[in-house]
Amino acid sequence: TLWRLMRAFHNTADVNLTVSQTMLEDLQRRGFDRMQLWPPAVDSQRFSPALRDPAMRSRLSGNRPVELLLLTVSRLAAEKNVGFLTEVLDRVPDGQLAVVGDGPERDALERRFAGRLATFPGCLIGNQLSQAYASADVFVYASETETMGNVVLEAMAAGLPTVAAAAGGVCSLVQHGRTGFLFAPGRADEAAGYVRQLLADEDLRNRMSAAARADACSRNWCSAVEAVRSSYRQAAQIHAQHPGLRPLSWLAVLISRLLILGFSLCTWRRTAAAASVPVQRIDPGADRLPAPAAARLSADVQLAELANEPCSV
C-alpha cells in the first residue's frame, strides 16, 4: 500500500530525482515515472588523505596508533546495523575499530562491543571528522538501507578502501575489487575475509586507496549541481506541456498530507506528554527555589532536552 501511495504521489511530479543509479533502476522497476539521477558528490578538499593526524589516530585507536585501524561513521540507530560489526571483529582477531557517531543505540552498542578492541569517540564534525577519516586504514560499513551513502563517499575521498554491504546505493559507489569490497548482506564471514585481506596486504590497501581517492575526486559538486540545473530545465519544459494535475494526483496529495498530519499530531502529543513530566535532578540549590519556579525550570529543562536531538553524522 505504501509503495502504491508513494508511486502515485511521485508520478504527479514533472521530474523525480534520486541520488544513486541503483535506486533509480529500482524505482523504475516499481513503476515510478520521469526518473533522473542527481549525481552524488563530495568535497575532495575537505575530505582528503592529507588531513591524517597522529593525535586523532591515537584517539580513535585507544592509544594503539601503530596497529591497523578500521573505521565506521554512522548515526547509531538500529537501521544502520552497526552491531553487525561485532561479528566481523570476532573473526579478525587483530582488528580494532573506531565507531564515530552518536544516536539512540549508542549505549546498547557500547555494551555489545565490550571486550573487543573498539572505541566510541562520539559525534565528530568539521575538521575533526575529516581527520578521523584520513587517520584510519580501512572503512567498514554494515548498513543495508542506504539510498546513497554519503559516509562511503567521504571515506573514499580520504583514500580509504571500503568494505560494505552490497545493498542499496552503496553498490553505485564501491567498485568491487578496485576501490573496495562488497559483501553479501548478513555474511559476516565474507566481510571479515575482505577485512583480513586488506589488513594483511599493504600493496592492496595502497592500490585501493589511490583508486578510491581518484573515483571520489571525479564526483565533484560542480558537475552534480549542473546535472540538477539540467533536470530543473527539463521539468520546466515538461510542465509547460502538461500544466494540469495528472490523473489521481489529488488523491495521492490528499492521502499524503493526511499521513503527514497524523505523524505530526503523534509527535506533538509525545512531546507535550514528556514536557508535562517533572524532571528530578540532584541540585543543591533546587530547594531554595519557590515551587512554581521549580516547576517552570523542570519543564524548560525537559523541552530543551527534547530539542537537543542526537547528532547525525
SS3 category, 29: helix
Residue 258 is predicted with a pLDDT of 85
Q: What is the pLDDT of residue 199?
A: 95
- Phi and psi dihedrals of 303, rounded to 5? -65, -40
- The whole domain housing 88 covers 49-219
**Residue 270, domain member (yes or no):** no
Are both 29 and 88 inside the same structural domain? no
pLDDT digits (tens), the chain, 313 positions: 888 888 888 888 889 999 988 899 999 999 999 999 999 999 999 999 999 999 999 999 999 999 999 999 999 999 999 999 999 999 998 899 999 999 999 999 999 999 999 999 999 999 999 999 999 999 999 999 888 889 999 999 999 999 999 998 899 999 999 999 999 999 999 999 999 999 999 999 999 999 999 999 999 999 999 999 999 998 898 888 877 666 666 777 777 788 888 888 887 776 666 556 554 443 434 444 344 433 333 434 343 444 444 443 3
Cell 535506486, residue located: 23
Same domain (yes/no): 11, 121: no
Q: List all residues 6 or more positions away from 117 whose beta carbon is below 8 Å from its beta carbon.
A: 62, 64, 67, 89, 95, 96, 97
215, 231: one domain: no
Q: Flag whether 250 is in a domain.
A: no
Distance, CA of 181 to CA of 196 (rounded, Å): 12
CA distances from 142 to 125, 156, 273 (A): 21, 16, 35
CA distance 114 to 199: 22
Which pLDDT belongs to residue 278?
54
Cell of 36: 533522473
Q: Do residue 11 and residue 54 come from a single domain?
A: no
Whether residues 126 and 197 share a domain: the answer is yes
> 123 and 231 share a domain?
no
| CA dihedral sign, ordered 101, 211, 177, 223 | positive
Total structural domains within the chain = 2
> Nearest-CA neighbor of 119 among 59, 68, 192, 67?
59
CA distances from 171 to 146, 149, 205 (A): 10, 9, 20
pTM, two decimal places:
0.76
Are 16 and 134 part of one and the same domain? no
